[in-house]
Structure 1
Amino acid sequence: MTIFPFSRDNIAGRSGPRYRAIADALRDAIKSGEAPPGTRLPPVRDLAFALGVTVGTVSRAYALAATRGEVSGEVGRGTYVRAPGGHERSDRGVGSASFLTLPEATDVAMKAAYAPPAGQTDIMGAAMSAILAELPGRAGPSPFNSYMHPGGGPAEREAAAAWLALGPFAPQADDVLICSGVQQAILTAILCTTEPGDTILTEALTYHAMVNQAGLMGRRVAPVDIDGEGLMPEALDRAARELNPAALFIVPTLQNPTSAIMSEARRREIAAIAERHGIAIIEDDIYGMLAGERPLPLAHFAPEQTWYTTSLAKTAGCGLRAGFLVPPRAMRERARAILHGQGQTVPPLMAELAARLMANGDAARICGNVIHEMRERHAMTERLLAGHAMKAHPASLYVWLELPHEWRAHAFVEAARRRGVAIAAGEDFMVGRMDRASRHVRLAIGQPQTRNELKRGLDTLAALLSDAHTGIAMPA
C-alpha cells in the first residue's frame, strides 16, 4: 500500500526547514495510524513534484525519518514505514544506518574524490604482468589459493613502512598493518578505541563514510569548529571538557572537503590537547602524499595516542584496495586481532602488486602524474569558474565552491543533476547539523576521465551559476 499523508498546506504550515516539516508530517501520520507499519511511501521524485520542492529536500526528509527509526529504504523496492520496536538507533549496540540512495547515471560525474587517470593502467598492468610471469616457478603457496596473514606479510609491511616514512616519522615494518582500504583501517581504529555509546569528535565538515561507520556501531559523532587550517584547538579543548569523547577523527592534510592543510604548530597543539584529555586520535592521511611538502603527521607528535591511517587510493588507484594502519605500539596486537575478526583482508595478489608498486618507484611515479594532472585541472576550474569564491589546493582532488546567495546547495545539486552533472552538496559533509542549509558544493574535479569531460561539466556549472543572477535559481 502506498500512502500520501502530505499536502502543501500541511507542510507550509509547519515551522523550520521544509525537509523537517515533511519528516514531521510523516511522524504524525505514523502516530495517528494513517501510515501503519509496512506502508510504502511515495517515490522521492513523485513527492518532490507534488509538494513543489527539490528531490534533495525529500531525500533529506526520508533520511531524517530513517535516523529516527521510523522508515527504512531498500534500493529497487522503495521506502517503508517500520514496525515499532525495530532496530532503532540507541546508545548501545548497533545503530540504524543512514538512509542512502544509489547515485543516478550522469553524463559527467564529479561527486567521488577519485584520482584522475594518470598512467595507472599501463604502469600497474606491466607490474601485474611481471608478477604473473614469475608465479609458475615460485616456491610456496600461490596467491590464488591462499589468504594473507592478518595485517600483511613481511614484504608488504616493509614496503608500506618505507612508503609512509616522512623525515623523523619513520614507522618500522612491524608497526604497519595492511588493510583492505583506508575505511577498514578507520573502522579498526574505531573498534579499538571506543565502545558503543561513546562520542567521537571530528571536524564540523568531514568525510561522511566515517560518520556512517560510527553510527552503524552505535557511536555518537560530534562536530568541532574549523577555520582555514582545519580543526580549531580552543574548540577541541572545549568539546573535550563538555562531551568527554573517547576519540577524535581528523583529516589534517587536504581536509575533506575544504582542502585545508594544518600547520605544524597547530598539529602540536591538537596532539597536546588530545594527550591531556586522554583522547585517541584517528588520523586520516589519505591525501597527504598529494600535498608534496607537508607538515609531519599528528602520529609523530602523539605516537601513543594516534591511530595513523592512509591508503594508495588517492595517490595510485582506488581499485588496489590497499590501506595502512599504524596503531600505537601498545595496541598493535589488539588491532591485528580485530582485523582478523573482521574476516576481510586484501587479496594476496593485490597486496603483492601494491608492495611492488611502492618498492620499485611506480607508486611514486603515478602519484607525481596525479599531482601534475590535478594542477592542470585546477587551472581549468579557476578559468571556467572565474569570479566565484572557491577553496582548493593545487593538488587536491576537489574544490569547495561557495554558491551565490540565490542558491542553496541541494537545489544547485539537483539543478546540476538535471543537466547531467553529479556533484556533492555541502550538507553531505556536515556533522550533527541536519537543520542547516549549506551554501557550498564540492566538485570532485579528479573524477572525470578526461579534461574534455571535466570542461563539459564545468561549463554546465558555470551556466547554472550565471542563471542565479537572472532569477532562474530556486532556493530549497
Structure 2
Amino acid sequence: MTISIFDREDIAGRPGPRYRAIADRLRDTIRSGAVPPGTRLPPLRDLACELGVTVGTVSRAYALAASRGEVAGEVGRGTYVLGQGLHAHGGTGVGSAAFLTMPEATVAAMKAALAPPAGQTEIVGAAMTALLAERQALGVPSPFNTYLAPGGEERHRRAAAQWLSYGDFVLQPGDVLVCSGTQQAILTSILAATEPGDLILTEELTYHAMVQQAGLMGRRVAPVDIDAEGMVPDALERAIREQHPAALFIVPTLQNPTGATMSETRRRQIAELAARHDMSIIEDDIYGALAGERPLPIAQFAPERTWYATSLAKTVGCGLRIGFLKPPPRLLERARAIQNGFGQTVPPLMAELGSRLIETGDAAALCARIRTEMASRHKMTADALGSYRLTADSAALYVWLELPDTWRAHGFVEAARARGVAIAAGEDFMVGRTDRAARHVRLAIGQPQTREELARGLAVIASLLSESHIGIVEPA
C-alpha cells in the first residue's frame, strides 16, 4: 500500500532545514501508530512534487529516517516503514540502521571498514585445527566445554601484552584484560570511567557505535573540532573549560572515517590537557597495527587515566571477536568486575585461537599482508578517483571522499545504492552538526572480496561523480 502521510503545512511550520522537517513529520506519524510497519512511502519524485521541494531534499529526509531505524529502502521496491526503530529506544541511530538495512550490494560492498582477504581462511583454519588436535593429545579440556574468568587467563593476557607492546609502550600480562572485541572494551571503559549524565567529548567525525553505546548507558556525547591531524588541542581545551566533560573518546591513529594520524607532539598535548583537567581518556587504537610509522599511543603519556582499547578485528580478520583493554592500573579490577557483571566473559575458543595466532607470528604475518593489500587498493582508488579530493592513508581500510558541488552525501549514497554499490554518507559519522559533512562519503575499499569487485565499485563511483544528482533516475 502506498499512502501520503506528509502534511505540507505542518512541514512548512517546522524550524530547520526542509529535509529534517520532512523526516521529523514522518517520525512523529510513525510514533503515533498511524502508519503501520510495511507501509510503502511515496517515491522521491512524487513526494518532491507534492511538497514543492527538490528530489535531493526528499532523498535526504528518507536517508535521515533510515539512519534512525524508522524506514528501509530496497532497490526496485521503494522505501518502507520499519517502525519506531532504534531512536525510540534511546539510541542516536547514527549510521547503524543504514548499515543494518542496506540491501546486499550487487556490484560492490564498500560500506563496512573490514580488512581485505589476505589468506585468513587458510591460516586461521590451520591454526584452529592444530589447536584442537594439540589439546586433545594433551588431554586438555576442549574450549567448547569451559568458561573463562573475566579478563582471560594468564596465557591469553600474556599474548595480548605481546600484541599490544611496541617501541617504548611495553605491557605486562597483569596490565591487560581480554575482551570480546573492541566494542566490549569501549563499553567497559565508558561504564568504568563515567557515570550516567556525564559528558564524553569526541572528534566531530567519529565511530558511531561509541555514540550509541554512550547514549544507551545514559551518557551524553559532544563534538570537538578536527583538522588534517585529528583532534585540535585548542578546541579540546575550550570544550573542556566550557562543558566540563568526564571523559574523552579518541581514535588518534588512522582515524575513522578520515584516516588521519596524530603526531606524537599532539598526543602529548592531549595527555597533558586530560591530566590538567582530571579527565579520563578512552583511546581506540583498533587500526594502529596497520600504520607504517606508528606513533606511541596516548596511553604512553597518560597511563594513569587512559583506557587503551584494540582488537584483532581490523588488523587480522573481522571474524576474530577478540579484543584487549589496558585500563588505568588502579581501575583494572573495576573493569574486570564490570565485565563479570554484564556476563561478558570471552569465548574460550576465540581466546585460545587469538593467543595462538599471536604466539606463532601468524597474526603479525596477516597484518603485514593486509597492509600490503591496502597499499595496492589505495593506488587503484587514486587512479580511479584521483581528479577528486581524497583524504587517505595507504594503510587505512577506507578513503574519505569530498563530493562535487552538484552532490550531497545522502543523495550520492542512494544513487550508488541504486547502481549496486554500498557506501557510507559523511553524516553517518557526525556528532551533533550533521550538516558539516554533507558533501563527504567514506569508501571502505578494504571490504570488497577481490580487487575486481573493488574496480567495479570504483567505476560506478567515478561515473556518478561526473553526473549531477538532478539527472539521476531513482528506483521505482
Residue 204 of structure 1: CA displacement? Answer: 0.4
SS of the equivalent of 2:223 reads: strand
Give the aligned partner of residue 147 of structure 2.
147
Partner of 1:264: 264
SS at match of 1:467: coil
| Distance across 1 between alignment mates of 2:233 and 2:437 | 26
| Structure 1 alignment gaps of length 5 or more | 90-94
| C-alpha distance in 2 between matches for 1:409 and 1:371 | 28
Displacement of 1:12 in angstroms is 5.8
- Which residues of 2 match residues 282-431 of structure 1 at below 5 A? 282-431=282-431
Encode CA deviations 1:21-74: one digit per residue, 9 max, x unaligned.
1144347768xxxx744642674753645423454422314656x8xxxx799x
Per-residue deviation at 1:18?
2.6
Residue 98 of structure 1, aligned match among 93, 96, 105: 93
Change (3 A) 1:28 1:151: closer
Q: What is the distance in 2 between the residues matched to 1:418 and 1:188?
A: 39
Distance 1:44 1:333, change over 3 A: farther
Q: Which residue of 2 aligns with 1:202?
A: 202
Q: Give the structure 1 partner of residue 52 of structure 2.
A: none
| Residues 38 and 81 in structure 1, CA contact (< 8 A), matched pair in contact too | no
> What is the CA–CA distance in structure 1 between the aligned matches of 2:435 and 2:38, rounded to whole Å?
23
2:37–2:80 contact (8 Å) kept in structure 1: no
Is contact 2:306-2:328 (8 Å) kept?
A: yes
- Which residue in the other structure is 2:122 paired with? 122
Distance across 2 between alignment mates of 1:227 and 1:130: 47
Show the counterpart of 2:434: 434
Q: Is the 8 A contact 1:37 1:81 kept in 2?
A: no
Matched, 1:58 2:62: yes
Preserved CA contact (<8 Å) 2:132 2:142: no
Q: Distance in 2 between matches of 1:44 and 1:422?
A: 22
Does the alignment pair 1:276 with 2:271?
Answer: no
Instruction: Note the C-alpha offset of 1:168.
Output: 1.4
CA deviation profile, 1:67-118 (whole Å, cap 9, x unmatched): xxxx799x99944469xxxx967xxxxx345282522111210000000001
Q: 1:51 to 1:15 in 2, by over 3 A?
A: farther
Q: Give 3-state SS (helix, strand or coil) of 1:452's partner.
A: helix
| Structure 1 residues 55 and 138, CA gap change in structure 2 (3 angstroms) | farther
Q: Is the 8 A contact 1:390 1:401 kept in 2?
A: yes
Q: Does 1:158 align with 2:175?
A: no
Higher mean C-alpha deviation, range 136-145 or range 408-417: 136-145
Show the counterpart of 1:92: none
Give 1:342 deviation, angstroms.
1.5
Mapped contact 1:3–1:42 kept (Cα < 8 A) = no
Aligned-partner SS, 1:320: coil
Cα separation, partners in 2 of 1:450 and 1:154, compared to 1, 3 Å: same
Deviates more, 1:344-353 or 1:228-237: 344-353
Partner of residue 40 from structure 1, selected from 18, 25, 36:
36
Matched to 1:102, the amino acid is: T
Q: What is the deviation of 1:438?
A: 1.1
Secondary structure of 1:393's match? coil
Displacement of 1:196: 1.2
- Contact kept in structure 2, 1:206 and 1:430, CA below 8 Å: yes
The TM-score, its normalising length taken from structure 2, stands at: 0.89
Q: Is the 8 A contact 2:62 2:71 kept in 1?
A: no
CA contact (8 A) 1:200 1:248 kept: yes
* Counterpart code for 1:103: M
Distance in 1 (CA, whole Å) between partners of 2:326 and 2:167 is 16
1:414 Cα shift?
A: 0.4
345-354 or 211-220, which deviates more: 345-354
CA apart distance, 1:132: 1.6
Contact 1:309 1:323 in 2 (8 A): yes
Q: Which amino acid is 1:305 matched to?
A: R
Q: How far is the alpha carbon of 1:434 from its aligned partner?
A: 3.3
Contact 1:5/1:29 (CA < 8 Å) preserved in 2? yes
Amino acid at match of 1:223: P
In 1, distance between residues paired with 2:149 and 2:29?
53
1:387: how far off? 0.5
User: 2:27 and 2:450 mapped to 1: Cα distance?
Assistant: 46
Q: Which amino acid aligns with 1:106?
A: A
Question: In structure 1, what is the equivalent of residue 453 of structure 2?
Answer: 453
Provide the TM-score with structure 1 as the length reference: 0.89
Give the whole-Å Cα distance in 1 for the aligned partners of 2:291 and 2:258. Answer: 14
In structure 2, runs of 5+ residues without a counterpart are 49-54
Query: 1:59 and 1:411, CA in 2 relative to 1: closer, same or farther beyond 3 A?
Result: closer
Q: Secondary structure at the match of 2:281?
A: strand
CA distance in 2, matches of 1:41, 1:20: 21
Relative distance call for 1:13 and 1:466 in structure 2 (3 A) is farther
